[in-house]
Amino acid sequence: MKPILIIAHIYYLAQWSQIKATIDNMLDFAHDIYITSPHDNEEFKQSVYTSFPQAKLIKVGNIGYDIYPFIRVINQINLSNYSYIVKLHTKRDIDHNVFASNEWRLALMQFAQSKNIFSKHISHLESHQQAGMLSCYKTIVTSNYDPDKAASIFLEKFITQHNWPILPYRFVAGTMFIVRANILQSLQNLKLTSENFDEANNHKSGFAHMVERLFGYLVYKDGYQLQDIIAPKILQSFFFNFLLRYPNFYRRHTVGKGRLVIKIMGLRVYMSRRGRLPPEQK
């Protein structure tokens, strides 16, 4: 196995310790680390180099969310030097259907929440050639149920322009994953620049949100699959075929001082007495 490449974008500096702890879980494997950030903060830079002396720290503009910084790194490396690419980034707390507060971020990082779990993901990729990208099932969206129709239409037009086949795909909503390096060759060949992202800054249909879906599409274009290897398949099937089709059926959100509220069909069925959200990884 060749080394893995870890690319992490740090926009919210307060979450650097969580990203650092997640990266620590991957260091049993040969690796290179690239950290991107729009901030020129000396304390942060010192922490990066103290924690990972061989890391490459790149200052980027606040363009294209976490997507463009990732592509900037991909454009400057030799993909054939790596077996797998890991994409991480900071993500603000948000209430979004099945997620409350920090739950979306924690789900996205699940594939590397411990050394043992990350090792299982590497072993799965090594032994299952059909697996192209791995992430948490809760963050995986099927193209047929994409709530952002503008972004999916944008991608279809982009695919057509490049003479690629139109086919069903799944993508990671939130773009944290581990992927086979060779799958990103088509992305590198596009030679995307910051100017591509400047052209579309509408939150719902911008270029970055189209590329979020493109990551998943490229997996299926090359004959691979996007998988979750932790959750039982029956749970994944329920999530993909019911909750994504009927997003208003089940909703989690927070009120007051982090009190968790669960609603089914708009009716409140649970409210915690105090904040009971998953703790951050320290």
What confidence tens digit (pLDDT) does each residue in 235-279 have?
A: 666 665 565 566 665 566 566 666 766 666 556 656 666 655 444
pLDDT digits (tens, 9 = 90+) for 39-98: 999 999 999 999 999 999 999 988 899 999 999 999 999 999 999 999 999 987 665 556
Length of the chain: 282
Confirm whether 279 is domain-assigned: no
The total number of structural domains in the chain stands at: 1
Confirm whether 11 is domain-assigned: yes
Confirm whether 202 is domain-assigned: yes
Confirm whether 89 is domain-assigned: yes
Confirm whether 192 is domain-assigned: yes
d(CA 178, CA 202): 28
Confirm whether 247 is domain-assigned: no
What is the arithmetic mean of pLDDT over 210-225? Answer: 97
Pairing verdict, β 170-172 and 140-142: antiparallel
Confirm whether 262 is domain-assigned: no
- Is 139 in contact with 243 (CB distance < 8 Å)? no
- Average pLDDT of every residue of the chain: 86
Confirm whether 271 is domain-assigned: no
Q: Which domain holds residue 168?
A: 4-233
Query: What is the amino acid identity at position 76?
Result: Q
CATH number at residue 86: 3.90.550
Lowest mean pLDDT among 15-19, 26-30, 88-92: 88-92
| pLDDT score of 201 | 45
Percent of the chain surpassing pLDDT 90: 63
Q: Which residue has the higher pLDDT, 267 or 149?
A: 149
| pLDDT score of 199 | 45
Whole-structure pTM value: 0.84
Strand partners, 34: 7, 56
- Is 129 in contact with 184 (CB distance < 8 Å)? no
